[in-house]
Amino acid sequence: MNYGPLIFLAAFFALAASWFQFVLAPMVQLGSLPQTNTLTGVTYPLARPGEAAQGLQVYRANGCAVCHSQQVGQRGTVFEVELTAAGTNRAAVAEVLGALQPGLGSGAAERLLDSLPRTWLRVKDKETAEGAQKRLTAAGAKAQVGIVPTGPDIARGWGKRRTVAEDFIYDDPVLPGDQRVGPDLANVGGRLPDVNWHYRHLYAPRAEVADSTMPPHRFLFERRKLGKAPSPEALRLPPAYAPEPGYEIVPRPEARALAAYLLSLRADAPLFAAPLTAPLPAPTNAASAAGASTK
Amino acid sequence: MSQPRASTPLPASGASATDLSCRLPGLALFLAAALWLLFGSVLALLASIKFHTPNFLADPAWLTYGRIRPAAGGAFLYGFGMQAGLAMTLWMMARLGRTALAWPGLVMAGAFFWNLGVAAGVGGILSGDSTGFPALEFPSYAAGLIFIGYVLMAASGVLAFRQRREREVYVSQWFLLTALFWFPWIYSTAQMLVVLGPARGVLQPLIAWWYSANLLTVWFGLVGLAGLFYFVPQAAGGELHSRYLAIFSFWTLTLFGSWAVAPALAPLPAWITVWSRVATVLLVLPLLTVMLNLHGTLRGRCSLLRQTVAQPFFQAAIPGFAVALALRILGVLFDAGGLLHLTWFAPAVAQCWLYLFFAMAMFGAAYTILPRLAGRDFPFPALVRAHFWLALLGGALIVAPWAAGGWLEAARESDPAIPFLAVVKSTLMFLRISTIGELLLALGHLVFLVNLGSLVARLCKGLAMTALAEATAETRPAEVRA
Amino acid sequence: MNSSSPLPAITPGDREPRDRRAPVPVWVFVLLFGLLFWGMYYFDQHGGWFEAQVYPPYRSLADLQLYQPATGGADLARGKAVYDNVCALCHNTDGAGKPNQAPPFHGSEWVLGSPERLIRIPLAGLTGPLQVKGAEWNLAMPAMGAALSDEDLAAVLTYMRQSWDNKAPEITPEQVQKVRAELGNRSQPFTAAELQSVP
């Protein structure tokens, strides 16, 4: 019996099954993802500006993705009842608050109303949150239900929601990474918006983060003899990392592009697939100082 | 096609003609593989030192960690792994078919293109042309050479299968023939959709993950198992326990292995990641059936087992296979919300699979096949033993600390109260231990290369002496074997 | 294993291995089908049934809908009333459009895309060639929405964006008001190229 064609067919069948599942079906489904609108009506995502797109090539060439992921994880989502204004009938609102949280005296509840807006409840089911919001609204307060993704990555401030396919539609190559030797970068532009911080950190990581294990990328910078006056773009480094007197460190175009790319990483828009509401602004009332310090 | 060729008479023993036809390509492929192995492990050692000493050799761009780690991986996967695997495949195809290797010149041409491709790829990564996708980092100019090289070599293997005189097909032939077909499909798909005409958005990493799952799990798995299913029964009296179990392993490994693609946290819709996770758990089936098959083969025969120099490598590859798959399955069952995949645990599983299973099987194959091809034993049997212990210890000293450190890392990363830097620092001790492992591996590979190089050198010398004797002698010696 | 020195690799009497035909134990098949059953159950529970929008930790489209922020009560009934009255004659009540006359609304990139562009179309009309869902149209749509109030126009556009499997955020009367103010008393229709330049 000639087994050759049989074995070929077996291999063909097995590989075709995998090919349909992981190449063809995703191509059909995700291959032409359009720009969408965020839940707040803004068009998302926008293509990265030219220098940032060049920075992605520096990111690729130097294997940044070997150590850094761009995929924020999310373990769950909770509902928050957010109280934004107490309205005129403070006593009634305080009463509702006291009823919602039995241990709270009405005096303490009224004092809490001095520092608004604040998050009141954090619950897993929607009915409880909406019920509380309705009771607060009925009492004359302004309250809304917030939607907040949770998980260790989000608690670390690495992102506000999980990363989804829409975040990458204009990138080429798309490098979500496979390991976290360093922190996740999906949202680093929102987290660390100072370009000079990135220059100093790329040149000498330990100048910014003590005990950092990131290798320095001095080859992205130029050591230059000082002219009449220091260049405006020269890095202001701590003494331990500064060049010898008479020299200065200036970013090369690669470093500029890479920093521009890092600053452009902001995957935090609220989307249908990854819903969230905008976080509350900090309490504005003067009484908030006392409330914040006791928290 | 199904009739034996009448024009080529069956040789008396069946082996010597096979071995002679494989001599040049087999030795060349294994020698090049050993060179790439040593080169890759030196790069891996440098990368390993950089884990905990980031300032070490930081100034030249081409030596930065983000370049030498992928370069080390590429040298290992394509330079050593696939090259040694192909050498074993070609020899086994010829030998199990009781035929001579078809067109050894074609294989030599293929090997030339292949090694040119690997050199271009490693050089490309070091000079900043990496594509950035794991296991697919070689730039497109290297990929073309690699593809041509593969097709030339695989054509010879498929021809050897078609010309076989032994009509009964052994399971290893199934496995190897499938592997031969598998690579061109996945490599061309991945190159076209990821590198040459990139697909949009997350399809790129998805197809790169699909490629690397197919290459690592299926191609390396099939070739490594083909080696075990050949050499282990051969040493244990000549019979594999069950053909049906082996075919069951074949189906489950190819189907589920090629579905176990995307990690849990990947920015992909749930159906893709969940399907991958289920498929990974289903890999317990090839794990159990392979173990059952080998257990049945060896049961009651351990005392009869012929203890050749190569045998310890196969005996280590069996638990290597089991531990790698078991760790992988445990890793998706207890994945700390997807975080485990992003720690050192994932490289530990890959290292266990590629080194303690696949590379061990290939070393065993090299120590068995090459003496036949050269017609003489390895010059330093003691070095074989040294190589075994260095490889086993070194591999274990990488896999165990990475796995343990990764597990701890995932547990600590799940607690946002622990700063990330503290999480990173808790892995440093494990990484220092793994540097010792890398050092041992590099030494072992040096030993392997020395032994293999001496074998080739002595063979060449012997052949030269013979030729000289033939040229100068008045009467031709009937048979000169050095 | 014995501890005597290992044999050299070349040993006489090497035979090619043969395979016995021992059957696959029944429990392997039991395990296979058990695991397949578990796999299907697990996929059913977590896999989101091939929906492109469902990512972990969400389990299904219904689960994901639960977490959408309240839209502040978009009035779909009002929108439908306006739609049936004003738009349905050409674009059909099911949003499928009419061949050679009016392009479809469901799945249309113009309906689901930028609100700024969408609002302009009914306010001033649209003329000339236009690509919708990959098909070429040549249009002369009058300013059907110019006479509607901000609230009515917002309601009907929201209805179009959230019906017939369309899923896009609502359009508020404030957005309509803003665009109306930007257009001033423009009366000549937009062209597709002109609209493309609107963010």
Query: What interface predicted TM-score (ipTM) does this complex get?
Result: 0.88
- Chain C residues close to B382, C-beta within 8 Å: none
Of B128, B236, B247, B147, residue with least CA distance to B190: B147
| Interchain CB distance below 8 Å, C55 and B170 | no
**Chain mean pLDDT for chain C:** 81
Residues in chain A, total: 295
Of B194, B202, B134, residue with least CA distance to B342: B134
Q: Which alpha helices (H) appear in B3-82, and where do they start and end?
A: 15-52, 65-74
| pLDDT in the model for residue C8 | 55
| pLDDT in the model for residue B281 | 95
| pLDDT in the model for residue B195 | 86
| pLDDT in the model for residue A293 | 38
| Interchain CB distance below 8 Å, B342 and A182 | no
Is pLDDT at C107 greater than 70 in this prediction?
yes
Is pLDDT at C75 greater than 70 in this prediction?
no
| pLDDT in the model for residue A262 | 94
Query: What burial letters (b/e) apply to B323-334, b meaning 16+ CB within 10 Å?
Result: bbbbbbbbbbee
Q: Which residue of C has its CA nearest to B94?
A: C16
C20 in B contact zone (CB under 8 Å): yes
Nearest to C70 among A29, A77, A145 (CB): A145
Cα–Cα distances (Å) from B51 to A208, A253, B443, C36, in that order, read 19, 27, 20, 41
Q: Write down the pTM of the prediction.
A: 0.83
Tens-digit pLDDT profile for residues A75-129: 989 998 887 777 777 777 777 777 777 777 667 777 777 777 777 778 888 888 8
Is pLDDT at A287 greater than 50 in this prediction?
no
Backbone angles phi, psi at A90, to 5 degrees: -65, -35
Nearest to B269 among C14, C28, C55 (CB): C55
B347 in A contact zone (CB under 8 Å): yes
Tens-digit pLDDT profile for residues A24-75: 888 888 888 777 777 776 778 888 888 999 999 999 999 999 999 999 999 9
Q: What is the mean pLDDT of residues C130-139?
A: 82
Of B41, B44, B38, B39, residue with least CA distance to B68: B44
Q: At B101, list the tokens.
A: 């290797």
Is pLDDT at A294 greater than 50 in this prediction?
no
Q: Which of the residues C3, C5, C24 would you substitute to probe the B interface, choosing the one with the greatest number of B C-beta atoms within 10 Å?
A: C24
Beta bridge partners of C128: C139
C166 in A contact zone (CB under 8 Å): no
Helix (H) or strand (E) holding B243: helix B243-259
- Asked if C39 and B278 touch (Cβ cutoff 8 Å), the reply is yes
Report, as ranges of residue numbers, the positions in chain B whose pLDDT lies below 70.
Answer: 1-16, 474-482
B311-333 vs B284-298: helix crossing angle, rounded to 10: 150
Nearest to C57 among A38, A76, A272 (CB): A76
Alpha-carbon distance B311 to nearest alpha carbon in chain C (angstroms): 9
Beta-carbon contacts of residue B321 (< 8 Å; ≥ 6 apart): B224, B225, B228, B287, B290, B353, B357
Is pLDDT at C63 greater than 60 in this prediction?
yes
Is pLDDT at A295 greater than 50 in this prediction?
no
C88 in A contact zone (CB under 8 Å): no
Backbone angles phi, psi at B264, to 5 degrees: -65, -35
| pLDDT in the model for residue A271 | 87
C62 in A contact zone (CB under 8 Å): no
Query: What is the per-residue DSSP string for B322-367?
Result: HHHHHHHHHHHHT-TTTTGGGSTHHHHHHHIIIIIIIIHHHHHHHH
| pLDDT in the model for residue C111 | 84
- Chain B residues close to A19, C-beta within 8 Å: 185, 189
Residues 165-204 of B with CB under 8 A from A: 167, 169, 173-174, 177-178, 181-182, 185-186, 189, 193-194, 198-204
Beta-carbon contacts of residue B256 (< 8 Å; ≥ 6 apart): B279, B280, B282, B283, B285, B286
DSSP label at residue A166? G
Alpha-carbon distance C114 to nearest alpha carbon in chain A (angstroms): 6
| Interchain CB distance below 8 Å, C22 and B310 | no
Nearest to A174 among B204, B262, B344 (CB): B204
